[in-house]
Chains A and B, each alone.
Chain A
C-alpha cells in the first residue's frame, strides 16, 4: 500500500487543526449540487470531504506568487471560429427518444408556475 504519510508530510505544520465540515455544510453543498442525500449518507460525506479538503490543503505549501493559473494543457490554443452557417439537422425526435417524458415535441417536467 502506498505510504501516504509521505504526501501529508510535504505540508507545513498547519496552525489550525483540520477543519471538519458540519452536517449543515454538507446539506448546503448537496443542495447547491442538486443532490438528494439520505440522512445516513451525510456523515459519510462529512468524513470523506473533510479528509479530502485536508489532503488538498497540501497545496498551501507551494509558492505561487506571480504564477498564472493554468486552465488548459495546450498553451497558445485559441478559440476556433467557424462560418456562421447551419450545420445541424432537426433530429429532435431521435434525441427525445431518450427523454423520460415528452409530449408534442416538448420535454415534460412538474408544473413550475402555479
Chain B
C-alpha cells in the first residue's frame, strides 16, 4: 500500500509537470495573447509595453518565466495579469460553490443512474426499459448549456419556480443553498444519469447470465436478493470506476459551463473568465487544480476497485 501511494504521488508530479508545460507553451504561441500588449491598451507605445514586460518578468527567457510561475503557484503568490488579484486565493474562494455543485450533482446522478439502470435491466425489453432507454439517450444528447438555458428560461423566468442562478452559502442558509442549487445539480447530472444507467443496464444483463447468479438462485435466494446482492453488486464495479474518473473531471473543470450559465461563483466560472481574458496565471492554476483532482480521483478509483473486487490487489506489478 505504501509503495502504491508513493508510486501514485510520483505519477501525480509527472502529470502536473507535463500539463503545466503544455499549458505554458500553448499560451505562448496563441496569437494575440501577449499580456503586456493587452495591459498597455490600444495604441500603446513600445516603451510602455517594454516596461510592463519587465514588471511581469516577461522579458526573461521562457524557462525562467516557467520556473518563476511554478514557484508562485506553490507558494500561493501568483497574481493575475488582468486583475492583479491573487490567483490561489480566488480559486480557494471558488471551492465552496464548486464542491456544492459537484457533490450534490454526483449524489443525484449516482442514485438516479443506479435506480434507472436497475429498473431497465430488470424489465429488459419491456415498456419501462424502452421508456428509460429513450430518456437516457435524450439525457446523453442534450448539451449542458442548452439544457441550462432552457431550464432557466422556463422554470426560473417564466414560471419563477427556481431562482435565476447565483449562490447562497451552505453555512448561511442550508435550505436556500439547496434551493439555489437544484437546477444546476440537475443540469450537471443529466448527462451522467443517462450514460451510467445505460452502462449499468448492460453490465447487469451480462451479470444475469453468470454462473454464480444461477448458483444464487439454486441456493433458494429470493429474486430480489439475487438481483441486488449478486447481479447489482458485481455490476457496480465498472460504474464506480467511471464515477471516480468523472467526478474528478467535473470538479477539475467539467462544471465550467454549468457554473457559467447559472452564475455560480466557483472555480469553473473563474476559469471561464480567465479563458475569455487570456489571462495565463489563473489559467495555469485552474488547469493544474483540475489535473490534481483528476489524478487524485484516479487513485481513489484504484483503491475503491481493490476494495470492491478482492481479486485485485494494490502494489503488485500488473501481469504482463
Q: Do A and B bind each other?
A: no
Interface residue ranges, B against A (CB under 8 Å): none
Interface residue ranges, A against B (CB under 8 Å): none
